[in-house]
């Protein structure tokens, strides 16, 4: 019996020593754990070996994720480049950076970076986030029992998340004798307006946006804000993508529309605003405050 006990101590000694020297307890930051409902889906977003792709040998082995499922963890770094994420290094910005609105603020998520985690039993994992609060809340929870906050999400994403830089430009049209002011596109939206040659009053302002529907066109023709005011809607373009139909995925139908707003409306909604667009189908969209302030800044620059 004594001999068995000695063997047991010898066998487990290396594990205990490693656990006490990986520095988990001294790490700062919030402690998290995987939610019960998400444990069977960890393969979707986590890898255990950063040097192999998502489907490489051992990456989808249940036993390699026991530590993640059963232990708490903390964030080690937020700019780790894995084999999977490295492919975004040479991709166009439209593919590498994901545009997000978090707590009504505009951000871009850099897919080139993964989140490096360390479990309480000293196993590292690598998380490829999609950046939304909903996915974060579904998969991960704090060990102190409190709800995840927006600040938790922003801190968790760290260097992979940056505030979006939305700008606006203007140009004078010699033929129409007016200035065109327009913002960058952000999340398939932009604001464009025209200012008369005396630089006094905008002649028209529209929020351009692309709406996606599945299989059935929205035929959007009206828009309302939260105050119940109705805004004129103009259809600009329509596009059908049925590439996935052979796989049973249906057609993605995109409608680009322009929603008329006035200068006072924008100045009263510099934090952004929601619009309900309706036709044969309805959709509620949020227009980021960064678009609004960029447009107004360029408009004011011209006026002054």
**So what's the pLDDT on residue 20?**
52
pTM assigned to the model: 0.81
Residue 5 lies in a domain: no
CA 76 to chain centroid, in Å, comes to 21
Q: Decide: 217 and 238 in contact? Cβ < 8 Å.
A: yes
Mean pLDDT of the chain: 91
Domain that holds residue 265: 168-303
* 194 and 282, same domain (yes or no): yes
SS (H, E, C) 187-248: CCEEEEEEEECCCCCEEEEEEEEEEEEECCCCCCCEEEECCCCEEEEEEEEEEEECCCHHHC
In tens, the pLDDT along 17-62 reads: 344 579 999 999 999 999 999 999 999 999 999 999 999 999 999 9
Q: What is the pLDDT of residues 263-278, one digit of tens each?
A: 999 999 999 999 999 9
Residue 250 has a pLDDT of 86
Whether 4 maps to a domain, the answer reads no
| Domain-located, residue 299 | yes
Look at residue 244 in the predicted model and tell me its pLDDT.
Answer: 76
- The reply to whether 223 falls in a domain is yes
Q: Is residue 51 part of a domain?
A: yes
Q: How far apart are CA 131 and CA 162, in angstroms?
A: 11
Same domain, 87 and 183: no
Which of 124, 146, 163 lies at the terminal end of a domain, its last residue? Answer: 163
Together in a domain, 96 and 186: no
**226 and 81 housed in the same domain:** no
Residue with tokens 């402690």: 31
- Residue 34, CA atoms < 13 Å, CB-side half-sphere: 23
Which pLDDT score, from 0 to 100, does residue 172 have? 92
215 and 231, same domain (yes or no):
yes
For residues 196 and 62, state if they share a domain: no
Q: Which of 109, 134, 163 is the last residue of a domain?
A: 163
Q: pLDDT by residue (tens digit) across 183-238? A: 999 999 999 999 988 877 788 999 999 999 999 999 999 999 999 999 999 999 99
In a domain, 60, yes or no: yes
Asked whether residue 206 falls in the same domain as residue 147, the answer is no
Are both 85 and 172 inside the same structural domain? no
Judge if 24 and 153 occupy the same domain. yes
Query: Domain boundary at 148, 163, 178, which?
Result: 163
Is residue 1 domain-resident? no
**In a domain? residue 146:** yes
Q: What domain count does the chain have?
A: 2
Give 252: exposed, middle or buried? Use CB within 10 Å, 0-12, 13-18, 19+.
Answer: middle
């Amino acid at each position: 019996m004594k001999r068995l006990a000695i063997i047991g101590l010898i066998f487990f000694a290396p594990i205990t020593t490693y656990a006490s020297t990986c520095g988990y307890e001294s790490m700062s930051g919030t402690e998290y754990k995987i939610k019960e409902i998400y444990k069977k889906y960890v393969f979707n977003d986590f890898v255990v070996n950063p040097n192999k792709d998502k489907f490489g040998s051992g990456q989808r082995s249940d036993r390699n994720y026991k530590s993640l499922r059963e232990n708490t963890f903390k964030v080690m770094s937020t700019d780790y480049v894995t084999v999977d994420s490295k492919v975004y290094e040479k991709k166009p910005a439209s593919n590498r950076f994901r545009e997000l609105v978090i707590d009504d603020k505009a951000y871009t998520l850099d897919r080139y970076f993964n989140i490096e985690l360390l479990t309480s039993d000293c196993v590292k994992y690598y998380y490829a986030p999609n950046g939304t609060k909903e996915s974060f809340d579904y998969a991960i929870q704090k060990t102190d029992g409190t709800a995840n906050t927006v600040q938790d999400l922003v801190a968790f994403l760290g260097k992979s998340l940056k505030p979006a830089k939305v700008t606006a430009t203007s140009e004078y049209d010699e033929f129409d004798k007016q200035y065109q002011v327009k913002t960058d596109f952000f999340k398939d939206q932009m604001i464009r307006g025209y200012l008369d040659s005396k630089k006094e009053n905008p002649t028209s302002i529209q929020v351009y946006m692309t709406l996606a529907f599945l299989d059935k066109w929205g035929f959007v023709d009206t828009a309302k804000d939260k105050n119940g005011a109705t805004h004129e809607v103009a259809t600009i373009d329509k596009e059908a993508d049925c590439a996935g139909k052979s796989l049973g995925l249906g057609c993605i139908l995109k409608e680009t529309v322009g929603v008329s707003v006035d200068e006072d409306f924008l100045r009263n909604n510099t934090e952004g605003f929601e619009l309900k667009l309706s036709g044969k189908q309805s959709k509620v969209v949020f227009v980021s405050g960064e678009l609004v302030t960029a447009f107004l800044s360029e408009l004011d620059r011209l006026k002054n």
